[in-house]
Amino acid sequence: MVFSHRGHVVTIAERNVARLGSLRRGVSPISETGLEEMLRDGIAAGRIHAVETAAEAVASAEFIFLCVETPQAPDGSADLSFMIAAAEEIATNLALGAIVVNKSTVPLGTVELIEKVIGRSDVTVVSNPEFLREGTAIADSLHPDRIVVGARNREIASRVANLYSDTGAPVVITDATTSELIKYASNAFLATKLTFINTMAGLCDAVGADVLDLVQGVGRDKRIGFEFMKPGPGWGGSCLPKDISALLNIAKSVSFDADIVEAAISGNERQMELVVNKIRVAAGGTLERRSVGILGLTFKANTGDRRYSPAVSITQRLAQQGASINAYDPTVIRMDSGSVDLAHLETYDDPYQAITGTDVVAILTEWPEFRDLDFARMRELVSNPAIVDARNLLEPGPIRDLGFSYTGIGRK
């Protein structure tokens, strides 16, 4: 959509018939701020077309972007079967001298692998990792921090980089393996930074310090900064956990000891356990036959995505320890109780219903609307007035004044 917004003619190949239909009608198959408007504008301007097969989409294209899923295989590595199938499908249909650009996050060496699968000396495959975040995908694509392109041919890499020239973003041109590694390293660094600040929050709890003031004091150092410094219930989503595991696998495959990466992953597990512990303590020392009211199930706010969501993982742990769980999330409707990942809990369309009669309320996703809840009303509805705020979303003082016990992450 963003390429079309920049004036390019874009053909999308979509084999899922329902999604293809909605794309053609100008209805975005995913929820992302500004995406549908761009889709509609592109269709109206005749710059966006959606077709059923990749073969059709690539026939006259100069640049072909591979944006297929690379799910995590059971051993933690990336499953390339969709990408290989796409490469096989387009191989004979590519125009002479076409440039195939890989956007998916892939193991090192995938560019060479795809070149082999395509098997044409006139076609070049290039790595061009994507760094956008869910929820801010359009803004991130319009204003990227950097453009990374990896290829064996510098001139071709520059042609790909030129597609982004209007963004004014700095360009890093490198070989394909380094480019592929940059994506993993970026997400692994972000995850490690989060485990670090979560660890500092734990230390603040232990010594009676305040992590929010600590972040102010530390983050003002420009070399450290404030981004990715919000302590929480652990990091999740479809990228960070998958990519950091893949990076660990890459290191293991060459017998390289990436212990800092391993520590970031185990630290994240510990963080989720820590939140479970806080909820257990707030519920009176046991979760057996306790009722927990959960606010937030998505892996972060402003998305409907629950993949590798720390909130879901925490509720599963609570249920395993005997708690019954009532949950509210603005993106989950009551019908979603049938979803496999939510089978262990009851969902509600209303936050007040979800917390009624519960022994502890836990905020697990930082939806801004949770700040505006009527906590005086909640105080009347709960069985036991205890709040665990795993996102440090609330001001402890006013909550305590209402008679709740308040437990945050790294703050008194």
- By annotation, the residues acting in catalysis are 239
Query: Can you tell me which of 65, 184, 235, 348 binds ligand UDX, judged by CB under 6 A?
Result: 235
Residues 370/363, Cβ–Cβ less than 8 Å = yes
Query: Can you tell me which of 58, 64, 117, 190 binds ligand UDX, judged by CB under 6 A?
Result: 190
245 belongs to the binding site for ligand UDX (CB under 6 A):
no
Tally Cβ neighbours within 10 Å of residue 45: 12
242 belongs to the binding site for ligand UDX (CB under 6 A):
no
228 belongs to the binding site for ligand UDX (CB under 6 A):
yes
DSSP 8-state class, residue 78: B
Q: Which range binds ligand UDX by CB under 6 A, 23-31, 117-125, 224-232, 372-380?
A: 224-232
* Binding-residue total with ligand UDX (CB under 6 A): 20
Query: Can you tell me which of 41, 77, 91, 131 binds ligand UDX, judged by CB under 6 A?
Result: 131
Query: Can you tell me which of 214, 239, 264, 364 binds ligand UDX, judged by CB under 6 A?
Result: 239
Site string for ligand UDX, 77-96 (x = CB under 6 A): --------------------
Q: Is 300 or 344 the residue whose CB approaches ligand UDX more closely? A: 300
Q: Is 179 or 291 the residue whose CB approaches ligand UDX more closely? A: 179
Residue 139: enclosing H or E segment and its boundaries? helix 137-142
Q: Is 125 or 240 the residue whose CB approaches ligand UDX more closely? A: 240
DSSP 8-state class, residue 338: G
CA torsion angle for 139, 141, 146, 151 (degrees, to 10)?
Answer: 170
Query: Can you tell me which of 20, 84, 95, 132 binds ligand UDX, judged by CB under 6 A?
Result: 132
Token code pair at residue 197: 């600040």
236 belongs to the binding site for ligand UDX (CB under 6 A):
yes
Q: Which range binds ligand UDX by CB under 6 A, 108-116, 132-140, 201-209, 346-354?
A: 132-140
Residues 388/282, Cβ–Cβ less than 8 Å = yes
Q: How far apart are CA 274 and CA 62, in angstroms?
A: 51
Tally Cβ neighbours within 10 Å of residue 86: 22
Cβ neighbours for 118, distance < 8 A, ≥ 6 positions apart:
87, 90, 91, 94, 100, 125
For residue 298, which of 334, 340, 341, 266 has the smallest C-alpha distance? 341
202 belongs to the binding site for ligand UDX (CB under 6 A):
no
Q: Which range binds ligand UDX by CB under 6 A, 11-19, 166-174, 187-195, 270-278?
A: 187-195
DSSP 8-state class, residue 108: T
Coil/strand/helix, residue 294: strand
Q: What are the residues binding ligand UDX (CB under 6 A)?
A: 130-134, 187, 190, 194, 228-230, 232, 235-240, 299-300
